Amino acid sequence: MNKLKAVTVMFLWASCFPLITIGLTFAPHLTFAALRALIAGAALVGWGIALGRPRPSGTSTWLLLIVAGIGATSLGFLGMFHAAEFIGPGTATVIANTQPLLAAALAYVVLKERIGIGGAVGLALGFVGIAVIAAPGFTGQLNPDQYLLGVAYVLLAALGISVSNVALKRLAGDVDALMAVGSQLLIGAIPLMVMSAMTESPISIIWSAKFILSLLGLALPGTALAYWMWFSILETMTLNRANAYSFLVPFFGISLGIAFYGEALTLLVGAGASITVVGILLVNHFVGSAHRSHVRHHLVDTDEHRVICLGEREGAVPSHQRDAVKRTVVVAVQSDHVVGLGHRSIPVDQDRPVDTPRFGGGPD
């Protein structure tokens, strides 16, 4: 189920660039971006309130929501909407989906995570792909200043989304998906509205049927539905594993650009897209594998220690059963699950948790 959801999310995100291109002929950039965020955020929060979902609480939760909102909504939308003025939607989609590469680099710097030789090669290939795609700006095939400015805007969006994904992953499972995603969209809309009021004329929007359809398509399925599904995916998948599906977006984006906007699949764009996709796959494969190995080792140690301590202190696990408990923990973690005492288990990276036998006296 998660795989189908991930593919759907990638298609919805790929469709955003063409819709942005349509809408920008009727509305100023930041005004359009702010409307997208406001409609999507209000729809999700309103739905959450109607369903009686719990509201986010706690300072740390709201700080993470602010980081996610500024990253994905403020910087992400700012970059994507301005980029659409300078480069085509297909090319923009490819460059934007270097986000997994940037996320891996961010994790290495901030979290001190090792990526290994394979991950480093993937990062290098990803940025080589970006350079190849940007090459027309240097060769004079397009206006160099405009093309490179468009690339810079997309990279800004990708960086913001990378930071946001780290924050959302920290929140996943602890905060209701509807309220969390809706809140971060509304938070991120505030800077967009301020910048729009300072630099644009919001009343200059042409409220044509084409604009309204592009706005609603962008705000509801392209943003509200896609971000809600993405957050629910992060509740049961590691970020690196979920990000592996991002390699589908360039294919969807280029296909939409060719089909509806007459974009030419040039040799440079095709080669750059291929190199970038290979880089993304390598990073997600090697970094994801390293992450899972580290998690397994850490969680096995932690769970064995917890089992022994509980047994000695509370008599939860009789001494003659401790080896059986340890073996069960190791087997379950090797299946990408962290096993608790009793019948419950906590899924780490699979669609469904596994059931575990109860050992005498353990808490449910």
Give the tens place of pLDDT for each residue, 123-137: 788 778 877 776 665
Q: Measuring CA to CA, which residue among 189, 212, 215 is closest to residue 78?
A: 189
Angle at alpha carbon of residue 190, lines to 184 and 195, rounded to 5°: 135
Q: Lowest-confidence range among 113-122, 309-318, 322-331?
A: 309-318
Q: Is the pLDDT reported for residue 203 higher than 60?
A: yes
| 300 domain residue, yes or no | no
| 100 domain residue, yes or no | yes
- pLDDT tens by residue, 251-299: 777 777 777 767 677 787 778 878 878 887 887 677 555 444 444 444 4
Determine the Cα–Cα distance for residues 358 and 321; give it in Å rounded to an integer.
Answer: 11
When mean pLDDT is compared over 134-143, 245-254, 319-328, the highest value belongs to 245-254
| 350 domain residue, yes or no | no
Tell me what the pLDDT averaged over the chain comes to. 75
| 364 domain residue, yes or no | no
- pLDDT tens by residue, 29-39: 999 999 999 99
Where residue 312 falls among pLDDT bands split at 50, 70, 90?
very low
- The count of structural domains within the chain is 1
- pLDDT tens by residue, 335-360: 333 433 333 334 444 443 344 333 33
| 323 domain residue, yes or no | no
Q: In angstroms, what CA-CA distances link 325 with 176, 277, 312?
A: 33, 42, 14
| 341 domain residue, yes or no | no
Contact 277, 250 (CB under 8 A): yes
- pLDDT tens by residue, 92-130: 666 776 787 787 777 667 656 666 788 778 878 877 887
| 349 domain residue, yes or no | no
| 166 domain residue, yes or no | yes
Where residue 23 falls among pLDDT bands split at 50, 70, 90?
very high
Number of continuous H segments (helices) and E segments (strands) in the chain: 17, 2
**pTM of this structure:** 0.71
Q: Which domain holds residue 230?
A: 2-293
